[in-house]
Amino acid sequence: MISRAFVVLTTLLFSISALSPSFAFPNDPELLKRQEVEDTSSRTSGGFGAVNPPPPPGPPRFTGLKLVHDRAHPWRPLRNGDERGPCPGMNTLASHGYISRDGVASPSQMVTAVQEGFNMENKFAIFVTYLAHLMNGNLVTDLLSIGGKTRKTGPDPPSPAHAGGFNVHGTFEGDAGMTRADAVFGDNHSFNETLFQKFVDFSNQYGDGYYNGTVAGELRFQRLQDSIATNPQFSFKNVRYFTGYGESVFPINFFVDGRRTDRRLDMAAARSFFKDMRFPPDFHRSPKPTSNEGIAEIFLLHPFLPGGNVDGKVNNFMVDPTSADFTKPCVLYADIVNTVQGLYPNPTGVLRRNLIKNLGFLYSSLSSAIGAQCDEVFPYGRL
C-alpha cells in the first residue's frame, strides 16, 4: 500500500518536474486490443450457464509461514490446451493445482489461491483479481483465463467487450515487462530468455547475484527506457503504471522463501517461477499477509511519470497529465470504471447484475489496496 508520506513526497517530486506538456493524450489506445490466442476445446460438455457471483472470500484462518510446495499440490507439466500467461505467480499456482490446472477459474477461487499459495493480503488480492476479471473475464459465467482467450470461459460477451484473459494487452499485462516482451513484437505472454538474462545481469550488477529492491528499481527504469527506444506504441499509464511497479516488487514479496529474512531472490528460484512455473523445492510462503510492500522505494530510485510514445515513433515519450499515478490513486479507480463502461455500454439482465456486483467487490477492497478513500461510482445503478 502506498503510504500518505509517499503520496506527499511524490507530489513534491512531480511538482518540481520540468515535464509538463499541454497536449491531448489518447487514453489507453491499446486497451481494447483483442488477442488471437484461442483454445477450441470446451470447458464442459454441456455448455455454460449464467452464474450469480459469490462475494470474494475473506482472510484465511491461518496466515503464517507454511510449506506450500507440499504433497497436496504437486507440480505437473502442461497438458494440451492448458492456459498460461504473463503472470508467473498465477502460472505457478495453476501448475501446482491451487486453481484448476487448465488455467481457468473464478475470481473467488483465484483470491483463495493467492492467499493460500503466496499469503497475499486479502484486500489486495481482491483488488488485483477483480480488476483483471472486470476487464478480461467472462462476467456472465464468472470465469477468467490466466492466459489467452479460450472457450473454456464460455460464450463471448457482447461486443465491444471481450473475455480475453490475462494476455489482453494494456490491462493486467502491459509494456516494459521484466520477462515478457512488449505486445508490439508479437508475443506478450511467453517467457523471454533474453529478458531474463537482463534480469540476471542486473541482479549480478546491483544485488550481488540476488534480486532485491535496488535491482528492482534499476531494472524497472531500464525496461522503461528499452521500450521507449524500441516500441513505437509504448504506453505506461493508468492501470499499467500501477501493475508495472507492482510486478517489480512482486518477486521480492512472494517468490522469496518465507524462512528468509533478507528479502533477496536467488536466480535458481527466479527461473523456477518465471520459466518453469514451479515452486522451488521445499518452498514456504511469506510468514505474514503481504501486498506491495517496497513499491515506494523502487519508484523513488528513478521517479517516472506516466505516459508513452506518441505519433507512432520511438524515442518520442510524452507525459500524460491525465493518467493516474501514485499521487492520484482515485484516478485509477475512475479509469477502471470508465474502461468497464466502454466495454459494457448498455448491459441488461444477468450481465448488468453481475457488473454491479463485481464493481462492488472491487470497490470493497479499494481503500486498503491503493491507500486512498475514493467516492464510489455506480455506472449501472445499484442492486
**Full residue range of the structural domain in which residue 61 is found:** 50-370
Query: What is the 3-state composition of the chain as percent helix, strand, coil, each rounded to the nearest 5?
Result: 40, 5, 50
- Is 23 within a domain? no
Give me the phi and psi of 208, to 5 degrees please: 55, 40
pLDDT reading at 31 higher than 80: no
What count of Cα atoms within 13 Å lies in the side-chain half-sphere of residue 300? 16
- Is 244 within a domain? yes
For residue 18, the model assigns a pLDDT of 35
- Is 375 within a domain? no
- Is 11 within a domain? no
- Is 112 within a domain? yes
Average pLDDT over residues 86-104: 98
pLDDT band of 47, cuts 50, 70, 90: low
pLDDT reading at 40 higher than 60: no
Helix (H) or strand (E) holding 317: strand 317-319
Query: What is the 8-class DSSP label of residue 236?
Result: E
Average pLDDT over residues 159-166: 91
- Is 36 within a domain? no
In the chain, the percentage of residues whose pLDDT exceeds 90 is: 84
Helix (H) or strand (E) holding 298: helix 295-301
- pLDDT digits 0-9 by tens, 353-379: 999 999 999 999 999 999 999 999 999
- pLDDT digits 0-9 by tens, 258-305: 999 999 999 999 999 999 999 999 999 999 999 999 999 999 999 999
Contact 154, 21 (CB under 8 A): no
Mean pLDDT over each residue of the chain, to the nearest integer: 89
**CA gap 303, 160 in Å, rounded:** 35
- Is 30 within a domain? no
Lowest mean pLDDT among 101-115, 151-165, 226-240, 252-266: 151-165
The total number of structural domains that make up the chain: 1
CATH number of 81's domain: 1.10.489.10
Whose CA is closest to 153, among 39, 38, 43?
Answer: 43
pLDDT reading at 380 higher than 60: yes
For residue 170, the model assigns a pLDDT of 78
**This prediction's pTM:** 0.88
- pLDDT digits 0-9 by tens, 130-160: 999 999 999 999 999 999 999 999 999 888 8
- Is 280 within a domain? yes
